[in-house]
Amino acid sequence: MALDRPTPLNSLGFAKPPAETRVVVAMSGGVDSSVVAAMLAEEGYDVVGVTLQLYDHGAALAKKGACCAGRDIHDARRVAETMGFPHYVLDYENIFRDAVIDEFADAYLAGATPVPCIRCNERVKFKDLMATARELEADCMATGHYIQRKMGAEGPELHRAADAARDQSYFLFSTTAEQLSYLRFPLGHLGSKAETRALAARYGLPVADKPDSQDICFVPDGNYASVIEKLRPGAADPGEIVDMEGRVLGEHRGVIHYTIGQRRGLGIGGLAEPLYVVKLDPESRRVVVGPKEALETRVVPVRELNWLGDAPLTSAPEWHMEVRVRSTRPPRPAILRPISATEAKVELLTPEEGVSPGQACVFYAPDSSRVLGGGWIWRGY
């Protein structure tokens, strides 16, 4: 008597044919998510494209470099028509304003340097959009992020993208284990962006040559300060530029115009040595400047931790790993010392310059591509 053979897993990890596997694809209108949708549609999956309208795109309709403008909604719809799958636009303006934009403005006013794209992934795309995908009875949700999901001994693991130049792990550190079980990242294994564009051309997508977005979607011209001034009138009140001893060196045009580590544009020339912004004090409206060595930080407090390790974070007094304190910097050796399940101190074995509250500190397994989570840097040093 012949034994029934188990059904082989499809490319998304389900033991059923692609045609019986529904996948919601988060489509921004860019080439990456468009290729993901086209690739899965060609493989025969039951694809549903969803694009989020996150802010009043009318103001940004004619501006390039923004990921969520009206042009992008139109492009996502054209891709869906080309590949023959349904596409929906969801109005998430109120959710996005409450969960992302307001905090962005308040963080800048508090002297931090926020990363709104992480909050958007955490609070909108991987929360509300994922809930919508489940309501649509989708088996999983796929995105165009450059990051890899691999199966490990304890379940799905998050790993850096194969192409280090495109890796987006810094922006996805807060993805929880539960979310990771539902998410798929079909582009993470590709070797370069050129491969993605070649696929877009092969599928005949109208976005094959579309430029990558460069700015935060609700700041399409890159002018953060003007956005914050509109959201929080009076945010650009002038104040003093002082050295580390409190001596007044000049006047600034609003704390929101400055970031930790900034050297240019201080307007205090004629000094013996170059000075850098080492601290922002919004309460006194002071910008504190000092020599480059004053920027060096060794101990980094982090909170709101998301831990993706196999053992509980607090099961060991310290963890030796690599961390990244800015999206543009490579991971560096560090020791993570847990305070609780959601708070820790990170000791950098080599001091870093320009570590700023509001940025993320992302954890990586040493000598591995695995992402172990991360947390938010939360105070001055």
Indicate the residue type of 259. T
Strand, coil or helix: 205: coil
Parallel, antiparallel, or unpaired: how do β-strands 296-307 and 319-324 relate? unpaired
| Residue where the block lists tokens 């794209």 | 117
Q: Give the DSSP letter of residue 28.
A: -
**Angle of helix 31-42 relative to helix 70-83, nearest 10 degrees?**
20
Alpha helices by DSSP H, listed for the chain, are: 31-42, 70-83, 93-96, 102-109, 116-120, 130-135, 177-182, 193-202, 224-231
- 337 neighbors 320 (Cβ within 8 angstroms): no
Tell me the C-alpha to C-alpha distance, in Å, between residue 186 and each of 62, 77, 150.
30, 20, 11
Q: How many CA within 13 A on the CB side of residue 201?
A: 7
Parallel, antiparallel, or unpaired: how do β-strands 140-142 and 183-184 relate? parallel
Check if 361 is active-site. no
Catalytic residue among 67, 140, 217, 361: 217
Q: Which two tokens stand for residue 252?
A: 């600034």
Catalytic residue among 67, 68, 117, 120: 120
Q: What's the CA gap between 317 and 64, in Å, rounded?
A: 48
Indicate the residue type of 96. F
Q: Give the DSSP letter of residue 167.
A: -
Check if 217 is active-site. yes
| Residue where the block lists tokens 């001055």 | 380
Beta-bridge partners for 361: 375
Q: How many CA within 13 A on the CB side of residue 339?
A: 12
Active-site positions?
Answer: 120, 217
